[in-house]
Amino acid sequence: MGLIKMRPVPVFLIWILLLVTQETCGISKVRGADPQKLHLYENKEGFFHCLNSSQKVPYSSLNDDFCDCDDGTDEPGTAACDGSTFYCENIGYVPVNILSSQVNDGICDCCDGSDEWLGYVDCPNRCVQNGKERIEQMLAEVKIIKQGLKKREELKSLSSLRFSELVNKTKLLQVSIHEAEVLERKAKKELHWLEHVLRVIEARDIVANASVGNLSSHSSGDVVTTNEESSNDLGRTHSLQNEDDELNVNSEKTSDEVYKSTMRSDFVLETCQNISKVYTSSHMLLRLQKLFFDFLSKFPVLSNFFKGSQRKIDTEVLKLCISNLKEHLETLRSELEKNRTELERVQQYFSSDYGPENVFLALRDICLEVDSQGYHYKLCLLSHVTQDSINLGKFSQWDSNYTKMIFSDGTPCWNGPARSTVVNLLCGVNETILKVSEPSKCQYHFWMTTCAVCSVHEMKKLRDEANIILSNLNLTKGQKSNMAHKHDEL
């Protein structure tokens, strides 16, 4: 800031100054007017036509330190009109429009000092110096962008690798869940059958033991008739008989020969062992089916077995088989549960937006931590933010150009809304938090660097700015070649 000299300027002097400005420079220069709009400041038969309306005012009103046009355009060079602008030429640096209220306010706003034309303050021209400093700054920025762009390529490859991994994992999980579901259905059904068979055997044991007559003496024993003659288990046996019908038991079809070869204990045991093997390998569904159907297709001989008193089936083995099957079913279910949870977790990744070319995918779940203003902040990218143990929001959306991550729905503020956070992303080589603030209660702002937002466009903007500065710099030959060299670096 320059030094304020409180020197009263007589009004008549200001008028002379203004007149001189207008008369010597004419239309080629109107103080504070943007040169691109200079033609609009033409004297049209003694009038100035306000720029943004049809209003016209006497030409002498231009820059007379009194606001005549409603749109304020008659005072580009004074602070008389609110909201109008003053053009700083800033030769050697970048031209800029400042608010007219900044004109002659005792602060040097234009680097060429032109805004303080009443001389209340001494404003040495710093434009060339500013230009040089800005070029140096741009060089540093371009260096970071270049490194960032390189890192961004790596991040992109990492993201696309992660994307394919997620797709593959999803497919594998879906297949194995489907297989396990089929297997579970089969196992449940088969378990039900085995339990049914066991119940039938046990019930008939009871009937056989309680029966007055000798079952073996019945050539083609009618179990129901026998039961009717028998015990208090009568009702139960009736119902089991019905279940037996459901199994399509056809004793006529099964010969003793077949029974003997299949219903031995070792056959049942072997079958159970095979079942165990099958259930531990989810890829053997077909084998399992075959085994079970082979096995179960033999059950009809049970009727024969009871009628012929050739009971050899070992109910203990059947029980063991059932308990094995239950155990396998349990394992299958917990595996299924685990895979379903994992699939849900993996699928959550697909519900987020990872920006152009999915570049942000590799950053997801990366957590950055920082201590600021007495709090410990933790930012997990595209996931959630915390302040100590307080939730500052979970990731909800991006801004339109993927430079702000918006987190919402955090812990409610006392007597206020839910906490929320905006994370501003700036180009940088690494992921680092630069600053955290709470501009309004329970609304947090983070600034962080990441290569994900480095862009060629940003570099082009810097180059364009450098071109303007270089073309504005009033340089010697030597300075020019030095600057040209720097420009090449940009």
**Interface residues toward ligand MAN, by CB under 6 A:** 387, 390, 413-414, 438, 441-442
What's the min distance (Å) between Cβ of 415 and ligand MAN?
8
Residue 315: in which H helix or E strand, if any?
A: helix 315-349
Closer CB to ligand MAN, 302 or 442, in the complex? 442
What's the min distance (Å) between Cβ of 27 and ligand MAN?
57
Closer CB to ligand MAN, 92 or 410, in the complex? 410
Closer CB to ligand MAN, 283 or 441, in the complex? 441
What's the min distance (Å) between Cβ of 386 and ligand MAN?
10
Identify the burial level of 217 via C-beta atoms within 10 angstroms of its C-beta, where 0-12 means exposed, 13-18 middle and 19 or more buried: exposed
Q: How far is CA 71 from CA 68, 95, 174, 460, 461, in A?
A: 9, 23, 67, 36, 32
Residue facing ligand MAN at closest CB distance: 414
Query: C-alpha angle 323/325/331, rounded to 5°?
Result: 105
Residue 381's closest CA among 432, 331, 333, 434? 432
What's the min distance (Å) between Cβ of 394 and ligand MAN?
16
What's the min distance (Å) between Cβ of 279 and ligand MAN?
53
Closer CB to ligand MAN, 209 or 437, in the complex? 437
Closer CB to ligand MAN, 71 or 409, in the complex? 409
What's the min distance (Å) between Cβ of 445 and ligand MAN?
12
Q: Please give the torsion angle defined by the CA atoms of residues 102, 4, 19 and 55, in that order, rounded to the nearest 10 degrees.
A: 20
Residue 341: in which H helix or E strand, if any?
A: helix 315-349
Instruction: Note whether 42 and 27 are within 8 A (CB).
Output: yes
Identify the burial level of 152 via C-beta atoms within 10 angstroms of its C-beta, where 0-12 means exposed, 13-18 middle and 19 or more buried: buried
Closer CB to ligand MAN, 305 or 444, in the complex? 444
What's the min distance (Å) between Cβ of 405 and ligand MAN?
19
Closer CB to ligand MAN, 409 or 438, in the complex? 438
CB within 8 A of 426, min separation 6: which ones? 434, 447, 448, 449, 450, 453
Instruction: Note whether 406 and 397 are within 8 A (CB).
Output: yes
- Report d(CA 382, CA 43) in Å as an integer: 60
